[in-house]
Every structure is written in C-alpha cells, then in structure tokens.
A and B are shown apart, each in its own frame.
Chain A
Amino acid sequence: MNTTSTGIIQKKRSLTLGWTQNITIIFKSIAKKKGGLIGSIFIAIMLLCAAAAPWLAPFDPNEQNILQRFAGPGLTHLLGTDYLGRDTLSRIIYGCRIAVLVAFGAVSLSSIFGVFLGVVAGYNEGKKFDYFIIWLFDIVRSFPQIILALAIVAVLGPSLVNVVIALAFTAFPFYGRIARAQTLSVKETDYVKAAEAMGQKPIKIILKHITPNIMAPVIVCLGMDMATMVIWESGLSFLGLGVRPPTASWGIMLRNGYKYIQVSPWTIVWPALAIAFSMIAFSLFSDGLRVALDPKERNR
C-alpha cells in the first residue's frame, strides 16, 4: 500500500515537471560523461558558428581575390584560400550553416512524417492501412539510401530544399518502423485502455497518449541520423548534386579541392577536418543521449 502511494506521488511529480526541467535533466545526464560533454561542446561550437557566421568569419565567404589564390595557411588567411582566392576559414564557418540546416531540417521532416505514419499504422495494427504503410516503408527501405537520394535530387534538380526533401524521404521509414514497434507495446498499456474506455477520439489518443511515450528511441535515432545527414549533404554537394555553388558548403569545398588536388592539398584537408569534427561531435552527443534516455544505463 505504502509503495503504491509513493509510486503515484513520484509519477505525479514527474508529470508536473515542465519541458524545460526535463531537458535540463537530460542535458545534465549527458554532460556527466566525458564523451557526452565533449560532444555537446562541439555541437555548441557548430551551432554558434552557424548562428553567428557573419560576425565570426573574418572575410566574406564569396569575396574573390585571384592574386591570393591557393594561399597556404598564413596570418591574413588563417587557413589559406581556394582556387578563386576565397578565404577558407570563412567558407568553413559559413558551411556550418548548411550542415546544421540540412541536419536539423531533414531529420525533423523525416521523423515527423515517419513517426506519424508509424504510430497510426501501429494503432491500426492488422488492418489494411497497417499493411499498406508497412509496404510503403519496405519499398523505400529497399533502396540503398544514398542512391535513392541521388535519384530524387536528379529528378527534382539540385538545391538546398530538394536535398532536404530527398534525404528526409530516404530516412522516414526507419522512424516509422521504430514508432510502429513502440506503439504496438504502448497501446496495450492501462492508460491508453482507460483513454479508449473514456471514449476519447483515436486522433487524440495518438497525439496525447501514445506519441509522447514512444519518443525516447526516436530521439536517440534522431541524434545518430544527424551525422548521416551531414555526410550525405556533403556527399551530394561533392557530386555537384546538392547545394548550388557559390554557396559555401563543405561538400562543395571538397569538390573544388578534388579538382585542384595536384595544386593545393589544403583545400581538401580543411573541409575534411570540418566534417570529421562534426561527425565526432554528433556521434559522441548521440551516444550520450542514448545513455541519458535509457533509465537502465543512466545510473551506471
């Protein structure tokens, strides 16, 4: 009796915690581990670069200075210049914008779309709609992801928005599968049964009672996917099928570096380092996030 009442009180307390408090708890738990802390700091640096690019960058990223082309690292141009004499450091800082934009844009688009379809399919388990959605997921999952993204960009034409759409389209079934599997277990819980018994509408049950309770694995997946999206954006841009030049993107910088690989090694090394840096950041952060959202591992 005593244990049940404390359980209820604890549950009530956790329910009364606001979003901000929940997020603070999660962040504290990520920062407790060394890897999570480093990852968070790296991501904070990336976000800062993306937000404050015009103030942080020493030069205009598109300002050309042909006389100074292929300059090595030096005092005026800290990281050197590219084949048009544009400042590499400024272009890398501006490149953060594209990376962050694509990572967050593609991941949120695909997760919203995928989770919604997955939850609705899971809620209607065994019905025709469920099978149709599974079929849809399996079709998209059949393609090697980057090749499908390539095809979609080829059809829609290369641009920032189309890259986000293509990447989101290739990733949504993975969120859908997770959301569906989670929904199957959550919909059998007492609180969902109670809501059904009270005669709540299915859409309200889905949005209010199921979706918030299946988000933990989805959020872990979000963290890991962001790294993938950054890679693929630069990959597509490297192939000339992503963001259009002269926009500063790490992939485009690599493309130009590849063209002039014989002349100046620095034009490849710096964007490669920027990508490596962001990969490590996202990977450490998502690892910390996974531990923070898993109650079993959190208290280890």
Chain B
Amino acid sequence: MGVSHHGQRALNKFKFVHHALLCGGKSGPPHDMAVIKTKIKEGSKIMLQYSFKRVLWVFPTLIGVLLLLFSLTYFLPGDPATAILGPRATPELIEEINSRLHLDRSMPVRLGYYLKGIAQGDLGTSVWSGHSVSSLMMEALGHTAMLAVTTLAVAAAIGIILGAFGAIRQDTPISGVVTVASLMGVALPDFVAALLLMLVFCVKIPILPAIGAGEGFWDMIVHLILPATALGIGWVGYLARLTHESMVDVLEADYIRTARAFAIPQKSIAYVYALKNAIIPTITVLGLGVGKLLGGAVFVEIIFSRPGLGKLIVDAVYARDFPVLQGGILVATVLFVLANLLADISYGFVNPQIQYD
C-alpha cells in the first residue's frame, strides 16, 4: 500500500537476505526453493528419527544404572548390616537392619523389592532418621537446583557476553579478562575456589555468610553469592573462551562477508547473524555442565554447609546410610541423563548440519 513497487522489491530482497543470513548461509543455492524445501523435510525426518532413538535408548541405560546401584550394596565387603552399623553392632540390631532392608532374602528377591520400590516412587527409608528417602530428596533438591540454575544462568550470561564482545572488539582489554578468567577456571577447581573465597570473604573480611542456605528471598540470594561464584568462576572463563573462539571463526565465514557486502550495520551483523551461530557450541556444553555442576555442588555444599543433594549424599556416605546414598545418586543420575538428552536433541535442532549415523 504505502510501499511502491520498487520499495516492495527492496523489502523482499531484504527479507530474503535476512533469512539467508539467519540460516548462516547453510540453505544451499537460493534459486531452487523446491530443493531446499524437500531437503528441510528430509532433515527434519532424520532429526525426529534420531530424537526418537535417543529417547528410547534412555530406558536400557537407566535400567543398567539401577542394576549398578543395586549391585553396589552387593559388592560391600563382608556383611552389609555390619558395614552399616559398624563393628559394635548387637545381633538384634543386625537382624532388624537385615529384615528392614530385605538383606536376609536371596539376591533376585532383593532386586525385585528394589525395582518394585523404584517403580512405585519409593526410594526406601533412611536407616538412621527413619524419614522416607524421597521426602529427604525433595527437600535437598530445591537447594541444589537453585544453586545450579543460578550458577549456570549467570555464568552463561557473563561468559557469552564477554566472549562475544571480546571477539568483536579485539582492541579492548576484554580478551585479557577472558584469558585471566579461563586460566583461573583451569587453575582453581571449584572446591579450592570455595575454600579461598571463604577464607577471604568470611574470615579475613567477614561480609558474607559462610554457612547455610538462608531464609527469605534476600537472605537466600546473599547465601548464594559465594557458592555460586565458586562453582561458576570456571564456567565463566570456559564459556567465554568457547564463545570467543567460535565467534572469531563465524566472523570469518562467507555469509558474514556477504552481510558486510549488503552494507548491513556492523552491530546487527555481529549480534544478530553471527552470535546466533557462534553460541551453538556454548549451548551444547551447558547440558554436560549439569553433571559437572552436580559433582561440584557436592564439595561446595559441604564447604558452605548448604543442605542440598550433594551434602545429603556425602552425609549418607559418612553415616553409611545406604538407602539415602542409593537414592541420592539415583536422583542425581536421572537429572544428569535428562539434561544430556535435552542437550543432544536440542543440538540437532539448533545445528541442522550435524550428521547422525
């Protein structure tokens, strides 16, 4: 209407260029739309097949995980009840534990009990406190999830911004900051970082709380600062370096040169067309990050006495509370498996170029 014929053509051309650039120049020869459409169709079919297979594969894996967890108690040297109760257990106590954990039955029967319990969502009861393991898990999971999500979100935001900005403006000191941050991430494992942070901000300059998870919104945030920093410091450096490297690669790609030839503003080239493709490797490592974070959370939760999943697991190890130990590991593993599944499938959708066998 308001647009002239000439203007309409220019707009169409812009739309086409915009689309081609968003695809990262991957859509093939532009004149043959029919070919492109069938290719996209084939690609999405392969993707769906892959996703389906990937989801199906989770089930045998989880069954294997259950078998391994079950056999852990079986491989305990000596009598499990004595191992749980320690050397000074009375025969009555041993008998009670044996019957409570079905340890007096044969292996297949015990496995049956175990699988039946899992299927009903019952992870058993704690040997010491008598609480059900699932209720302990639900309580602890909230704290760990809050820590992990905060850490990953903040670290990803800072890391991607630092990495992208450092790659676009190579003359700023940002790339120096990225180098230092990634070196810190390499040099300081999360529990060492946690100890040093505690030393500086709780002992030498006591401005932040050292223990607990806090109550109420602000108190919880304040209690999150040190643990999240300890967990996230390595991630900031790692994600920044990853984004930086892939951004530098993408900025040299042909389609970005094409964008420059179309006189598209530098800022939108960098932040719209390049960044979208440059963050793909960053997204994929986030899925793997969940496993590392759950592992790191074990140490950080112990050091800062946060009542999360990691602390629950380690306390169960100290107390030889095997139902809690098994349940905690199962929950952590299921979370990790789901995160990996999500990362694998989303990777295929974000990067259609990937090949599956």
A residues contacting B by CB (< 8 A) are 135-136, 138-140, 142-148, 150-152, 154-157, 227, 231, 234-235, 238-241, 254, 257-258, 261-262, 265, 268-269, 272, 275-277, 279-280, 283
Contact = CB atoms under 8 A, between A and B. Distances in A.
Contact of A151 (B67, B72, B187, B196): B72
B294 A272 contact: no
B140 interface: no
Contact of A144 (B62, B75, B203, B292): B292
A261 B189 contact: no
A238 B72 contact: no
B343 to A, nearest CB: 13
16 contacts: A138-B64, A139-B67, A147-B329, A150-B313, A151-B69, A155-B72, A254-B191, A258-B303, A261-B195, A261-B198, A261-B199, A265-B199, A268-B196, A275-B189, A275-B192, A276-B192
Nearest to A274: B192
Interface in B66-89: 67-69, 72-73, 75-77
Nearest to B193: A272
A265 B196 CA distance: 9
Contacts of A276: 187-188, 192
State the 4 A-B residue pairs at the shortest beta-carbon distance, nearest first.
Answer: A139-B64, A146-B295, A276-B187, A154-B317
Interface stretch (B103-111, B122-130, B330-338): B330-338
A139 B189 contact: no
Nearest to A258: B195
A69 B337 CA distance: 48
Contact of B192 (A147, A155, A254): A254
Contacts of A257: 195
Contact of A139 (B61, B191, B299): B61
A155 B191 contact: no
A227 B188 CA distance: 11
A69 B67 CA distance: 49
Interface of A is mostly: helix
B339 to A, nearest CB: 10
B302 interface: yes
Contacts, number: 120
B333 A283 contact: no
B65 interface: yes
B65 A139 contact: yes
B65 A279 contact: no
Given A272-B195, A275-B192, A239 B302 contact: yes
A279 B187 contact: yes
B325 interface: yes
B278 interface: no
Nearest to A282: B186
Contacts of A147: 294-295, 298, 310, 313, 329, 332-333
Nearest to A250: B192
Contact of B336 (A142, A262, A265, A280): A142
Contacts of B294: 144, 147
A231 B291 CA distance: 16
A227 B185 CA distance: 13
B291 A145 contact: yes
A66 B318 CA distance: 29
B336 A143 contact: yes
B186 A280 contact: yes
Contacts of A262: 203
B274 to A, nearest CB: 24
B60 interface: yes
A263 to B, nearest CB: 10
Contacts of B292: 144
A235 B69 CA distance: 22
A238 B332 CA distance: 21
B205 to A, nearest CB: 12
